[in-house]
Amino acid sequence: MAEDPHLTFTKSPDSESISDHMYRMSILTMFAPPALASRLNIPHCTKMALIHDMAESLVGDITPVDGVSKPEKNRREAATMDYLTVALLGNVHSGLVGSQLREIWEEYEKSETLEAKFVHDIDKLELVLQMMEYERANKGAVDLGEFTYVTTKILLPEVKVWCDEVLEERKAYWEGLGRGAEMAKALEGYLRG
């Protein structure tokens, strides 16, 4: 899992690994905005962030461009979680470890609890942070603004504000390169979809 690239950013030769992505998300959960943190079980969110893409360690990071239908992607990931939680962990502490991992993963997949919604939003925030890092690493030669559409899918207002702050930092970066107006226009197009 440590070396399997997280394929969100296929334009970058230094794509983060799946484990990089999950670890960074887990750290971000610990810095939830205070108004939201008081309503969350933060340790549970941290576990969820570390588990949410665990199936990708075996099936890979299936993205929309791979041509795999959502039901097929879900089937593959569920089968992989069965393997990880039953075949590999089924005898650890009488199966308790495997069943706990599976429960947390299913909670994330269903996205019904506040914790699951928060971790889904953190997944999107982490993508935007990674996008900015790749743009900066390429010294502005690469515009990955097409990924900003994920910000329109953030559900919790506190995370939306957090993400807006990150996008303001991105805007200032591009303005510093003398390309602020160009990027603002591109961003508007990305968000309109």
In the block, residue with structure tokens 């805007």: 171
Given CA atoms 54, 59, 64, 65 in this order, what sign does their dihedral have?
A: positive
* Residue 143, domain member (yes or no): yes
pLDDT digits (tens, 9 = 90+) for 98-137: 999 999 999 999 999 999 999 999 999 999 999 999 999 9
* Residue 51, domain member (yes or no): yes
* Residue 11, domain member (yes or no): no
Q: What is the CATH number of the domain that holds 165?
A: 1.10.3210.10
Q: What is the mean pLDDT of residues 170-186?
A: 83
* Residue 121, domain member (yes or no): yes
* Residue 109, domain member (yes or no): yes
pTM for the model: 0.87
Residue 31 has pLDDT above 60, yes or no: yes
Q: What percent of the chain lies above the pLDDT cut of 90?
A: 61
Helices (H), the chain: 18-29, 34-37, 42-51, 56-59, 70-82, 96-110, 114-137, 157-176, 180-192
* Residue 7, domain member (yes or no): no
The pLDDT of residue 168? 93
* Residue 152, domain member (yes or no): yes
**Domain extent for 133:** 18-192
* Residue 9, domain member (yes or no): no
Q: How many domains does the chain have?
A: 1
Average pLDDT of the residues of the chain: 88
Q: What angle do CA 108, 134, 139 make, to 5 degrees?
A: 160
The pLDDT of residue 57? 83
Cβ atoms of residues 135 and 97 within 8 Å: no
The pLDDT of residue 117? 99
CA–CA dist 30, 145 (Å, integer): 27
Q: Which H helix or E strand runs over 68?
A: none
Tokens representing 54 are: 């665990």
CA–CA dist 51, 54 (Å, integer): 5
Look at residue 5 and give its three-state secondary structure.
Answer: strand
Q: What is the mean pLDDT of residues 74-93?
A: 92
